[in-house]
Structure 1
Amino acid sequence: MVSEVVARVDGVCGELVLRRAGPHHEIIANGVFLMDTRNGESERLMVAAAADRMPPGTTMLIGGLGVGFSLREALDHAVIRSAVVVEREPAVIEWNRDVLGNADLLADPRVRLVRDDLLRWLPTAGRFGALCLDIDNGPEWTVDEANASLYGPAGLAMLDAALAPGGVLAVWSAARAPAFAAALAQRFGPVETLAVPVPRGEPDLVFLVIRSRSGRGN
Structure 2
Amino acid sequence: MPPEYVEIARAASERGEVVLRQRRAGDDPDAAGAVELRVNGVFVMDTVETTTERELAQAALKQVEHPREVLIGGLGLGFTAHEVLADPRVERVAVVELEQALVDWMRDGTVPHGPSYLADERLQVVVADIRSAVAEAAPASYDLVLLDVDNGPGYLVHDANAEVYEPAFLARVAELVRPGGSLAVWSAAASGPLAAALADIFGSVTPVAYDVDLQGRAEQYFLYLARP
Does the TM-score normalized on the shorter chain lie above 0.5?
yes
Measured after TM superposition, the shift of residue 3 of structure 1 is 0.8
Structure 1 residue aligned with 2:145 = 131
Where in structure 1 do 4 or more consecutive aligned residues deviate above 6 Å?
none
Alignment pair present for 1:156 and 2:167: no
Native 8 Å contact 1:175 1:203 kept in 2: yes
1:38 aligns with 2:48: yes
Answering whether residue 153 of structure 2 is matched by residue 143 of structure 1, we say: no
Aligned match for 2:121, one of 100, 109, 117: 109
Shift of 1:208: 0.2
Partner in structure 2 of residue 215 of structure 1: none
Trace 1:6-155 onto structure 2 (pairs within 5 A): 6-21=8-23, 22-56=32-66, 58-97=68-107, 98-100=109-111, 101-126=113-138, 127-155=141-169
**Pairwise CA RMSD:** 1.4
- Identity over aligned pairs, percent: 38
* Mapped contact 2:167–2:198 kept (Cα < 8 A): no
Amino acid paired to 1:40: T
CA drift of 1:11 comes to: 3.0
- Cα deviation, residue 143, structure 1: 2.2
Q: Distance in 1 between matches of 2:142 and 2:40?
A: 32
How many residues end up aligned between the 2 structures?
211
Unaligned runs of 5+ residues in structure 1 are 212-218
Gapped regions of structure 2 (runs ≥ 5): 24-31
Shift of 1:136: 0.5
- Partner of 1:136: helix, strand, or coil? coil
Kept in 1, the 8 Å contact 2:68–2:89? The answer is no
- TM-score, structure 1 normalization: 0.91
Distance 2:90 2:68 in 1: 8
Distance between the aligned counterparts of 2:219 and 2:21, measured in 1? Answer: 24
Tell me which residue corresponds to 1:4.
Answer: 6
Question: 3-state SS of the aligned residue for 2:4?
Answer: coil
Q: Tell me how far 1:140 sits from its aligned partner.
A: 2.2
Matched, 1:198 2:215: no
What is the aligned partner in structure 2 of residue 184 from structure 1? 198
Q: Which moved more, 1:36-45 or 1:197-206?
A: 197-206
Deviation string 1:27-80 (CA, Å, 9 cap, x unpaired) is 111111111111211111111111122241630111111111101101111321
Q: 1:43 to 1:12 in 2, by over 3 A?
A: farther
Mapped to 2, the partners of 1:57 and 1:169 lie a distance apart of: 11
TM-score (norm 2): 0.88
Question: In structure 2, how many angstroms separate the alpha carbons of the residues matched to 1:195 and 1:206?
Answer: 7
